[in-house]
A = this chain, B = another copy of it.
Amino acid sequence: MLVVVLASLLLLGSLTITLFWVLYYRGGFTWTEDPKHQFNLHPVLMVAGFITFSGFSILLYRVCRCCRRIYVKLFHTIFHALAIPCIVVGFIAVLDSHNLNPAGAIPNFYSLHSWMGLVTMGLFALQFVVGFFSFLILLCCEGATAAFRASLVPIHATFGITTFMLAVATCLTGLTEKAFFELGKKYSLLEEEALILNALAMVLTAGAIVVAYIIMKDDFKYRGHILITAQGD
């Protein structure tokens, strides 16, 4: 259980450090009236949606094995649903901060961070729609769809962890961009803000490792359907 506590601390820690960084070093939040500070919503909301909410959603699906399965599914859906407004507003924030820049529009979608971000958002949307339809809506005709739903589970799980890992990698490329944009040559002096950014990268990396460990660990897998033949497992 210690490893689940550690994962929770890392997921919450990455959001806390991002918030602290943006509020303390980057001047906090605004909306379109000040596009430079509107940008600050982007890292916070993307970390909240793609890392903290999605991370907890994945964790609780694996760790809660005591309660009824449908409740776990509902909470898994709700946590992912909470991530959606974060991601949408975080995406609008970066577009606005580019397009409304007073010194002339900054181009969109050229960096590898933005390409990876688009892939991650696409996968997230696909996973949510397919997951919602297959594992909740299709429950209305439970018997007839059981085989289909069972065959989708490993695909949903593999793409789910893939999306999470991609999200972490996208965060890391975004932090690298930001460090070189804002700190430039000063980055190498490793002053306060540089250390905070690197620490945030390390916490995100550690979070990805611990969540992946929990997911791959057999102990945490829900094996209701195997219990009957447990002696051979």
Interface residues of A (CB under 8 A from B): 106-107, 110-113, 115-116, 119, 154, 157-158, 161-162, 165-166, 168-169, 172-173, 175-177, 179-181, 187-190, 194, 197-198, 201-202, 205, 208-209, 212-213, 216-218, 226, 229-233
Residues of B within 8 A of A158 (CB): 212-213, 216-217
* Alpha-carbon separation in the docked complex, A208 to B166 (Å): 9
Residues of B within 8 A of A161 (CB): 212, 216
**Closest residue of B by beta carbon distance from A107:** B188
A112 interface neighbour in B176, B226, B230, Cβ under 8 Å: B176
* Alpha-carbon separation in the docked complex, A165 to B201 (Å): 15
Question: Copy number of this protein in the oligomer?
Answer: 2
Task: Say how far A212's CB is from chain B's closest CB, in angstroms.
Answer: 6
Interface contact A112-B179, CB-CB below 8 Å: yes
Residues of B within 8 A of A110 (CB): 187-190, 194, 198
- Supply 10 A–B pairs (Cβ within 8 Å), ascending by A: A107-B188, A110-B189, A110-B198, A111-B198, A112-B179, A115-B202, A116-B201, A158-B213, A162-B213, A168-B169
Interface contact A208-B165, CB-CB below 8 Å: yes
By CB atoms of chain B within 10 A, which of A112, A166, A198, A232 has the most?
A112
